[in-house]
Every structure is written in C-alpha cells, then in structure tokens.
Chains A and B, each alone.
Chain A
Amino acid sequence: MIVKDVIEKLNLEIFSAPEGVDRVVKGGYTSDLLSDVMGHAREGQIWITLQTHKNVMAVATLKDLAAIILVKGFKPEADTIEASLAEGIPILGSNLEAFELSGELFNILK
C-alpha cells in the first residue's frame, strides 16, 4: 500500500508534500512523545500524532517515516510545512481522534 491509498481510504486532508503520496506504507505508529517515536517507530510507518511543531518533521525524516497524520483537526505550523516540503514527506490530517484513526489504519493495513 502507498500513502495515496491511505489518503483515499481514510479520507485524509493533504497539508503538504503531495509529491510524497507514492511512498510505501509498511505500518503505523501512534504516539505524541518524540523520543518514543525515535526509539520505536520503524522505517516506512505512518505516524499518527497531535504534535504540530517542526520537530515532528525532524523525527519523521531521521526515521524515514512514510507520512504524518495529525488527528482531531490539528493543523501543522508554517515551519513544519516548510520542512515537509523540503523532505517530501507528506503531512496529512483527519478529524478523528488518535484511537479511532489508529483503528482504521490498522484495519486497512492488516
């Protein structure tokens, strides 16, 4: 599955880096703690979080994550979008809560 499939199936908003929708999705990771994601997320996963600041892009880039989905209608900050564009890793959005969105992502990936 690629990011584009996830966007369509979960009806996600694209905030930035639409050119990254062909990235391959190998799983998901849900956490708002950056060190948890640094330590435990794996390459190619989609990261579900409510953190909107630029450091999420640093983590996503260093870990080679497929994309970021912001929950509950949160929007990325301007410099987060800039970093996303520079790295080509899309930031997506959903109005669902992390629990519900994680469940939906889990279902389409299993």
Chain B
Amino acid sequence: MHLEFNVEGGDFSNAGSASSQIKRVLKQLNIDPSVIKRVVVALYEAEVNIVAHAYRGKIDAEISSSGIVLKLEDEGPGIPDVEKAMTKGFSTASKEVREMGFGAGMGLPNISDNSDVFTIDTIVGKGTSLNIEIKFR
C-alpha cells in the first residue's frame, strides 16, 4: 500500500495529520500496537521537523506485509552538521517554535530510537531527505 502526504512549512495547525492517518491505516491492518506506537513517534517527529524547519515537504509511505518504509523529502535549509543535530538537546528551532514546546532537541533522537533503519541525506541550502524503516516482525 502506498500513501503520500504534502506538508507545508510553518503550518503547525496540521502537524501530525499524516501520522494520524497512517496510525489509522496500521490499526485497520491489525499491526502490533507496540509497532504502531514506534511508527507514530518516528513519523510525527519527522513531520514536525518539516513544519518547523523547511519550506515544504513530501511524505511517502510504503506499507508491505513485512514493514513500513517512510521517505520524507523537504525543500529547506538542510542540516549543516548532522552529528550535532542528532545530539539530544541540540536544536536550531526559532524562539516561537520553542515556546510551543517544540525544539527541545529530541526529534531526531526520538526517530532514531524508534526505527530499525534511519538515514539522513541533506544538502545545505537545498533540503533534507529522511529514510525511516520499521519492521512489523
């Protein structure tokens, strides 16, 4: 099964809508609830990252019998230092975004903790692509 979503940068009112639709689909497919929880955490964080940091992005979800593959591609500033961005507590989010309770530097670590495969490709000034894979087992 293939699902696609568009995400607008700065549109916090819709942040999480892709995650909630995918959660619904996985529930209907009777996927193990503990796996759904991991998918939801990883995808929500990745979705919010596009809203908080990029201009726009696309989420592409491929669900098979063995697992889910999420590809998130954004047009945005890119990440100058991926290792630093992966450090818990490090964030480049704006003051406004932090006041909402985002930008605590936990997003990428949360994705990493909840996925089986997680890779980041980024070009500064162009954008960032994430590949997140979670197996159903």
Contact = CB atoms under 8 A, between A and B. Distances in A.
Contacts of A62: 16, 19-20, 23, 40-41, 44
Contacts, number: 64
Interface in B1-49: 12-13, 15-17, 19-20, 23, 37, 40-41, 44-45, 48
A51 B110 contact: no
Chain A interface, DSSP helix/strand/loop, else mixed: helix
A55 B20 contact: no
Interface of B: 12-13, 15-17, 19-20, 23, 37, 40-41, 44-45, 48, 100-102, 104, 106-107, 109-110, 113
16 contacts: A33-B104, A34-B48, A34-B102, A34-B104, A35-B48, A35-B110, A38-B110, A39-B106, A39-B113, A51-B100, A51-B101, A55-B16, A55-B101, A55-B102, A58-B17, A62-B41
